[in-house]
């Protein structure tokens, strides 16, 4: 295994001193696989727990040995981060209740009250943590092993790898970490590599007026989420937490229940410890918490409203423009000028695009009343969108004008929904374009995102 010399002098990075003395704990919470967007990448790919740089090129399975990769677009979520200000405030409220009102002799409760301290502070506000730096360094190395002809020192030095990022500090620092993974791998010290900040592409949701007004800033858009949070499943979880803490039911709010779940998740993601906070939940509780989060993502970023996915039209077209350019250059015998595009954004960047492409579309919508029948749903953010989640689109030249496109999600091949031929995992690029013809001919960001005036 390659050993990295971690260097943080290349960017201003917030490291909180309280974490330095923690040693990774091999034990993990029994509920770790339900942490939705707060989950570790390693829960999605458990083999990485043994070897964080492990890859298996046989999963690519091109239809012919003649197939050569000519372009890779990688759309990647930032790495592990600290809680946001909102989360920290809710955690503090819960901690005060546990510290001053909870009673009992359980060891986990005594540990919270006598040993654990509220070390999360508002100035952390979603910043990348050290393990988030590692997420992207390791991912960079794995992708260089998975696609060695594209992600190579020669291609990097030659300017054939382009980096684009959201302006948020956690994304910029993830981008810097990805680049550092490559430069440290090849011991490059004589050159630096630029990146482009582009919120129009990586934070399109902020710039889509119709989405902002009709969904993001519209409380009624999440009515199904509100109903579920007031429903019997969530009420039971909250009451069980109150029972475990021996406090009145009205002491524990829905926000505190969420804060407790996030405390367990963040402690595991940031410190790799099985926190005493995790003892407030059993597996049934965790499934309910996961569903509540999925319900929010479904209605706010997924299939709940058409504008959720249509807000990503600008990124959709950008991806296919890059693929078309690579295909055109390759056809004319030129060297592909942009062999790799690395685009770093958010879960809120990836989910609308995955939705637009038709991934994880269950037959029944997620609602406040069908929790019991959604246990086998494919729309599960714990599997789709952990920290450092990534959508890879790899364009292959298989000879004789035979171009093929392979999608991978979190380094695993997936199938474009609706393409079901025998080579659906690596279909003809033309078939992919035919399949998405309506979106390619339409899906105009400006048109979709403008607010239509009501008739006078």
- pLDDT value of position 423: 64
Tokens at 411, concatenated: 């380094």
The string of pLDDT tens digits covering residues 299-328 is: 999 999 999 999 999 999 999 999 999 999
pLDDT (average), residues 212-230: 97
pLDDT exceeds 90 at position 29: yes
d(CA 36, CA 401): 42
Averaged pLDDT for residues 318-344: 97
Mean pLDDT of 218-229: 97
- pLDDT at position 401 is 87
**pLDDT tens for residues 110-124?**
999 999 999 999 999
Contact present, 172 and 197 (Cβ < 8 Å): yes
Residue 300 vs residues 87, 193, 223, 237, 356: alpha-carbon distances, Å: 18, 35, 11, 23, 14
Instruction: Kindly report the average pLDDT of the chain as a whole number.
Output: 92
* 376-398 as b/e: b if 16+ CB within 10 A: ebebbbbbbbbbbbbbbbbbbbb
Provide, rounded to the nearest whole percent, the portion of the chain with pLDDT above 70: 92
State how far the Cα of 292 lies from the Cα of 297, in Å rounded to an integer: 9
Provide the β-strand partners of residue 161.
Answer: 340
3-state helix, strand, coil in the chain (%, to 5): 50, 10, 40
CA distances from 265 to 240, 259, 409, 447 (A): 19, 10, 22, 39
**CA angle, residues 24, 26, 31, in degrees to nearest 5:** 110
Q: What is the pTM of this model?
A: 0.92
Span between the terminal Cα atoms of the chain, in Å: 68
**Model confidence over 158-197: pLDDT tens digits?**
999 999 999 999 999 999 999 999 999 999 999 999 999 9
pLDDT given at position 105:
92
Which pLDDT score, from 0 to 100, does residue 455 have?
37
> 422: pLDDT confidence band, cut at 50, 70 and 90?
low
Q: Is the pLDDT of residue 420 over 80?
A: no
pLDDT of 334 above 70: yes
pLDDT recorded at residue 15: 34
* pLDDT higher than threshold 70 for residue 24: no
The one catalytic residue in 78, 136, 138, 169 is 78
pLDDT for position 421: 65
> For residues 75 and 404, what is the distance between their CA atoms, to the nearest angstrom?
19
Reported CATH class of domain 36-449: alpha beta
pLDDT greater than 70 at residue 18: no
pLDDT of residue 7: 36
Any long-range contacts for 148-157 (C-beta under 8 Å, 24+ apart)? 149/68, 149/69, 150/69, 150/70, 150/71, 150/72, 150/339, 150/340, 151/72, 151/182, 151/340, 153/182, 153/186, 153/188, 155/339, 155/340, 156/182, 156/183, 156/186, 156/188, 156/193, 157/188, 157/191
Give the integer Cα–Cα distance in Å for 326 and 85: 42
What is the reported pLDDT for 278? 97
Residue 169 among the catalytic residues? no
pLDDT class of 400 with cuts at 50, 70, 90: confident
Q: Two tokens at 456?
A: 């006078």
Please give the Cα distance from 52 to 135 (Å, whole number): 9
pLDDT tier, 25 (very low <50, low <70, confident <90, very high otherwise): very low
Instruction: Please say if the pLDDT value at position 156 is more than 80.
Output: yes
C-alpha–C-alpha distance, residues 98 and 311, integer Å: 42
For the chain, give every domain's residue range.
36-449
Instruction: Give dist(CA 98, CA 275) in Å, integer.
Output: 15
């Amino acid at each position: 295994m390659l050993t990295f010399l971690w260097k943080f002098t290349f960017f201003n990075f917030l490291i909180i001193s309280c974490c330095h003395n923690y040693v990774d704990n091999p034990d993990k919470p029994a509920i770790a696989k339900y942490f939705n967007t707060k989950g570790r990448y390693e829960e999605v790919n458990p083999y990485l727990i043994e070897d964080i740089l492990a890859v298996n090129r046989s999963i690519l399975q091109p239809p012919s040995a003649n197939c050569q990769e000519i372009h890779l677009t990688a759309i990647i979520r930032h790495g592990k981060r600290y809680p946001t200000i909102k989360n920290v405030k809710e955690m503090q409220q819960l901690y005060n209740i546990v510290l001053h009102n909870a009673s009992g002799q359980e060891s986990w409760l005594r540990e919270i009250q006598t040993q654990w301290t509220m070390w999360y502070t508002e100035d952390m506000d979603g910043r990348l943590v050290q393990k988030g730096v590692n997420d992207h360094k390791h991912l960079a190395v794995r992708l260089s092993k998975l696609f060695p002809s594209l992600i190579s020192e020669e291609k990097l030095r030659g300017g054939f790898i382009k980096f684009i990022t959201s302006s948020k500090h956690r994304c910029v620092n993830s981008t810097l970490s990805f680049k550092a993974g490559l430069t440290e791998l090849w011991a490059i010290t004589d050159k630096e590599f630029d990146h482009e900040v582009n919120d129009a592409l990586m934070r399109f949701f902020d710039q889509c007026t119709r989405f902002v007004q009709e969904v993001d800033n519209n409380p009624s858009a999440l009515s199904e989420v509100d109903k579920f949070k007031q429903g019997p499943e969530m009420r039971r979880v909250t009451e069980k937490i109150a029972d475990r803490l021996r406090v009145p039911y009205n002491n524990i709010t829905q926000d505190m229940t969420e804060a407790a779940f996030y405390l367990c998740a963040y402690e595991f993601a940031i410190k790799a410890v099985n926190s005493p906070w995790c003892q407030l939940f059993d597996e049934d509780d965790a499934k309910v918490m996961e569903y509540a989060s999925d319900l929010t993502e479904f209605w706010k970023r997924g299939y709940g409203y058409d504008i959720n996915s249509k807000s990503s039209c600008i990124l959709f077209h950008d991806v296919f423009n890059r693929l078309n350019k690579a295909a055109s250059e390759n056809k004319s015998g030129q060297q592909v000028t942009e062999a790799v595009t690395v685009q770093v954004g958010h879960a809120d960047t990836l989910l609308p695009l995955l939705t637009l492409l038709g991934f994880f579309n269950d037959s029944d919508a997620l609602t406040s009343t069908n929790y019991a029948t959604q246990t086998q749903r494919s729309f599960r953010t714990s599997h789709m969108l952990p920290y450092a989640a990534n959508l890879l689109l790899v364009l292959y030249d298989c000879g004789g004008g035979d171009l093929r496109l392979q999608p991978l999600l979190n380094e695993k091949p997936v199938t474009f929904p609706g393409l079901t031929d025998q080579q659906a995992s690596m279909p003809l690029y033309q078939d992919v374009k035919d399949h998405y013809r309506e979106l390619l001919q339409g899906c105009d960001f400006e048109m979709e995102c403008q607010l239509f005036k009501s008739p006078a």
